[in-house]
Amino acid sequence: MVYLVYLLALIFIVLGFLFGVSVGWKCVHGRNAVGNLMIAPGDENEQPYIFLDLTTSVEYLESSEYVVLKVKPHQVTLVPDSPTQLTSNSGWDTKANLEFLTEVLEAFNTAGIRTSAFVSTDAEMIEYAAKAGADRVELYTEPYATAFPKNPEAAVAPFVEAARTARSLGLGLNAGHDLSLENLNYFYKNIPWLDEVSIGHALISDALYLGLERTIQEYKNCLR
């Protein structure tokens, strides 16, 4: 009789485990996942980087028009990247794409979502972002990050001018791309009215060594 009780208990434990695994699998993989977030080691002189390994076709993603309207985040930033592009390497030509940007930004603004357009430091591109209806612009800061080690003052100068242009047009100001613990504080001290920074690769790479909580605190300290 005792053995029968143990046997039944073991059966229930195994069944419970299998049920839990099944439910967990469905929760993780049954929500229209489009890929797996991966961390890969960088080259010899680079930090590790994060990327999305797609498990669905690019065509499917392209057909999911305005998925952001279903999610309704606080903010959406429009970036001129193709679906197969690994990372951003330029800002919008807001003048050439004025009609498209106006249509998309209007849809997001109507839904109550704050909008931002990813742009270079070119004053004309910032002006046309305002004409398209963006609430903010996000300055593409890779040129700043590249030039910073040799001459921080020269590196930040065009971004200060671009920031002033954005402010004169009533636009909020974000910045992003290759900002890090090494160059973020200098950027912020020269543009203290900066609203937000977008940092992905550097933050995750630093967190691998420092832990996520400490890393976030370090970045917040750069904005003081």
Q: For 118-166, how does the pLDDT look when each residue is reduced to its tens digit (9 = 90+)? A: 999 999 999 999 999 999 999 999 999 999 999 999 999 999 999 999 9
Question: 138 in helix, strand or coil?
Answer: strand
Whole-angstrom CA distances from 45 to 41, 42, 48, 151, 180 are 10, 7, 10, 21, 16
Instruction: State yes or no: pLDDT of 8 exceeds 60.
Output: no
DSSP secondary structure, 9-37, as one string: HHHHHHHHHHHHHHHHHHHHHSS---EEE
Taking a C-beta distance cutoff of 8 angstroms, is the pair 177, 141 a contact?
Answer: yes
Strand partners, 136: 116, 172
Q: CB atoms < 10 A from the CB of 119, how many?
A: 29
Question: Over the stretch 9-53, which tens digit does the pLDDT of each residue have?
Answer: 566 566 565 555 554 555 555 555 656 666 666 566 666 655 556
Task: State yes or no: pLDDT of 105 exceeds 60.
Answer: yes
Which pLDDT belongs to residue 98? Answer: 95
Which pLDDT score is estimated for 14? 60
Domains of the chain: 67-222 (3.20.20.70)
What does DSSP assign to residue 58?
Answer: H
pLDDT at 217 over 60: yes
The C-alpha angle 115, 120, 126, rounded to 5 degrees, equals: 55
| Nearest residue to 209 via CA among 166, 185, 180, 189 | 180
pLDDT of residue 34: 58
9-13, 115-119, 214-218: range with lowest mean pLDDT: 9-13
- Output the six-digit token pair for 51: 């990327």
CA distances from 17 to 20, 21, 147 (A): 5, 6, 55
Strand, coil or helix: 149: coil
Residue 161's closest CA among 185, 130, 125? 125
Over residues 179-208, the pLDDT tens digits come to 999 999 999 999 999 999 999 889 999 999
Q: What pLDDT was estimated at residue 3?
A: 60
pLDDT the model gives residue 169: 98
SS3 178: coil
What is the mean predicted confidence (pLDDT) over 90-110?
92
Kindly tell me if the per-residue pLDDT of 112 is higher than 80.
yes
Most confident of 11-25, 61-75, 82-96, 146-160: 146-160
Q: In residues, how long is the chain?
A: 224
What confidence score (pLDDT) does residue 192 get?
97
Which of 23, 107, 37, 20 lies closest to 66, judged by CA? Answer: 107
pLDDT value at position 73?
Answer: 87
Question: What pTM, to 2 d.p., does this model score?
Answer: 0.71
Say which DSSP state 66 is in.
T
